[in-house]
Structure 1
């Protein structure tokens, strides 16, 4: 058999994986494991040390014990491309291929750990329910993590059919657009089908992860995109629009129009995890204004010649946006400081400097009062 015919045979063997995102770059990354007789596949679900992997020959169950490092960000995750042993009971995932992107959040534990929610994602779909009052700060959190992951965010405003009129809907979209510069904001109704064709066209070109709080309508949206009731749906509470976790694991599903979708459980906590770049992207207009400040290290608090504060005073920049920006930067600094001694030292110096400035200001006031 010639090299070209052998390559064609290998490409044909992997053709069943193309709908799940397989391409020439993944084939090249997998080539060393192919020579070892391992099987290529994509993780569609992880559950208690085992995972379901879709391969060219169908779905198989594999154990992840072989890839269980101390670093929680390096465990096998939904969306990973893996090399699996073809035989054995159980079969084992030998390794996963280098990730192109990874969506990571901070866990609620006190151990300063990150949790990887999905890997190799092209679009991060943030689902926000219009059945309750918009929480723009939470949307900004999701977007910071989405930008940091390397994926392109999309905000989907679900349950648009519950908004009383088109004018109100337009205002709501504008509010979210203000909090999401550079991000497409799309109102949809899974019940009526409004906006679903546009969303499907966006998602058909790669892998998408569906994110949002419980009750945001993620499972209903996933079913609408899939064209069948694959995900269970539960009612939300009337008083606050919150729901129970319909989805309890992260599942990767092939969309009928192309592309794959990773549905995730509702996220009650959206903690940042080393997301400075993502925060800067979410608040790009503030970052741009900061370049016009008189001082390069301007903290945008009370410094003279601060272009950011001037924009707030002029009504160009909403004060809520600046407060949210400060809050997310502080939170991200705290997270990074827990694992980075240099950052901790810088924060301590900053706190001491601000403390000294505060004491000096008080002494000056006392001098004037005396």
Structure 2
């Protein structure tokens, strides 16, 4: 396999952007590689599907700038390496991010340069359409195509009922497939998104079946799997870190640990994920600032009362839109703070950050 073909097999695009080529021209002796694993002590990189991973250290500026993790490479990023050290991070063409867990606003990179996200949900007590909608919001916000993968179809679940519950998502063009993650023939339904050069990230709760699905796609028991609790079908974190894994199909897979908290970053567009139908109805309301509660001429309330719109979806739409608005305000304030020089002795408390804290205390 030629170097170019090897890079293509781990996700290098057929037509890399001009910024990518410009960075390569600045570092003619550098080795091009993709981040396969990220650890505290450094990175493990790949430059082909069959080559052994090799280690590289982060540049000094990344080590100094610990407060902005988005400026450092993550799994799926492309980098240039010289003498065992990363010398450049190539611009991302897509990025899956979330608001980091905790009281304070901060973005966390999940994976970079992704084509498709498999949102994995078990057909057991793990099944939750509202959480799936939240995942779709984050995935769409990163410029990534989502596919909902319903696992454990062999456990006697009511697949038709689950598909019916997700019909609004399907109507928005999101593919939904029920599979037995242990059966290669069943998992073959996902092959259209696993073509050579494509990168897929798996996201979902612990115990949803991501590691089992990964093992089946790899054709071996590489990832640990574990039992789930009978009470809520949640499992332990059998995947402890993100990893880029080349598949026999020529695609790349990134498995991720289960995520318990899915906070928006402020860059998402809820109406462009799983709620385009509700957003279109809202445009028909008599008042532009309609809250869809008791206002006259509310098209959203009319659809709920007519039985054509699920009130639980509407509640989730409003909740997510509110969370994104607060996160967007906080993000804008942080960006303005970073752009301005801090005045001597000035205290930088912000209304947006206080609002974020108040919402957390109120349980939102």
Same fold? TM cut 0.5: yes
- Cα deviation for residue 24 of structure 1 reads 4.0
RMSD across aligned C-alpha pairs, in angstroms? Answer: 2.3
> What's the secondary structure of 1:211's corresponding residue?
strand
- Paired residue for 2:174? 183
What residue number does 2:341 align with? none
Match of residue 5 from structure 2:
15
2:70 maps to 73
Gaps of 5+ in 1: 1-10, 349-370
Is it true that 1:201 corresponds to 2:198 in the alignment?
no
Q: Which residue of 2 aligns with 1:33?
A: 24
1:154 correspondence with 2:147: yes
**Partner Cα separation in structure 1 for residue 17 and residue 307 of structure 2:** 53
Q: 1:201 to 1:67 in 2, by over 3 A?
A: farther
Give the CA deviation at 1:114: 0.8
Cα gap change, 1:187/1:194 in structure 2, threshold over 3 Å: closer, same or farther?
A: farther
* 1:283 partnered with 2:280: no
Helix, strand or coil for the counterpart of 1:26?
coil
**Structure 1 residue matching 2:269: 3-state secondary structure:** helix
Q: Is the 8 A contact 1:30 1:40 kept in 2?
A: no
1:121-160 matches, cutoff 5 A: 121-132=114-125, 134-160=127-153
Shift of 1:194: 5.1
**2:110 corresponding residue in structure 1:** 117
| Structure 1 position 270 matched with structure 2 position 267 | no
> Which of 47, 56, 60 is the aligned partner of 2:54?
60
Deviations 1:163-208 (A, max 9, x none): 25xxx21121121232453210000002334531111232225111
Shift of 1:299: 2.4
Richer in helix (by share): 1
Structure 2 residue 294 is the aligned partner of structure 1 residue 302: yes
2-side partners of 1:36 and 1:66: how far apart?
Answer: 21
The CA deviation at 1:243 is 0.8
Indicate conservation of the 8 Å contact 1:43/1:81, yes or no. Answer: yes
- Quote the Cα distance in structure 1 between the aligned partners of 2:185 and 2:138: 27
Tell me how far 1:121 sits from its aligned partner: 0.4
TM alignment of 1:37-52, pairs within 5 A: 37-52=29-44
Residue 79 (structure 2) aligns with: 82
Q: For the residues of structure 2 that align with 1:303 and 1:265, how far apart are their CA atoms?
A: 43
TM superposition shift of 1:301: 2.2
Show structure 1 runs of 4+ deviating over 6 A. Answer: none
Q: 2:213 aligns with which of 200, 218, 221?
A: 221
> 1:298-336 deviations in whole A, cap 9, x for unaligned?
222222111111111111111011101111111122222
Distance 1:36 1:194 in 2: 45
Structure 1 pair 252–195 and aligned structure 2 pair: CA distance change class (3 A) = same
**Partner of 1:221: helix, strand, or coil?**
helix
**CA distance in structure 1 between the partners assigned to 2:28 and 2:296 by the alignment:** 65
Aligned residues: 330
SS at match of 1:44: strand
Specify every segment of 5 or more residues in structure 2 that has no aligned partner in the other structure, as ranges.
337-349, 356-364
Alignment of 1:249-268 (within 5 A): 249-268=241-260
Match of 1:363 in 2: none
Residue 105 (structure 1) aligned with residue 98 (structure 2): yes
Tell me which moved more, 224-233 or 131-140. Answer: 131-140
**Is the 2:10–2:47 Cα contact (8 Å) retained in structure 1?**
no
Whether the aligned pair in 1 keeps the contact of 2:223 and 2:239 (CA below 8 Å) is: yes
TM-score normalised by structure 1 residue count: 0.83
Does the Cα contact within 8 Å between 1:66 and 1:94 map onto a contact in 2? Answer: no
* Separation of aligned partners in 1, 2:326 and 2:144: 24
| Structure (1 or 2) with the larger CA radius of gyration | 1
Distance 1:30 1:83 in 2: 11
Q: Matches of residues 340-351 of structure 1 in structure 2 within 5 Å?
A: 340-341=332-333
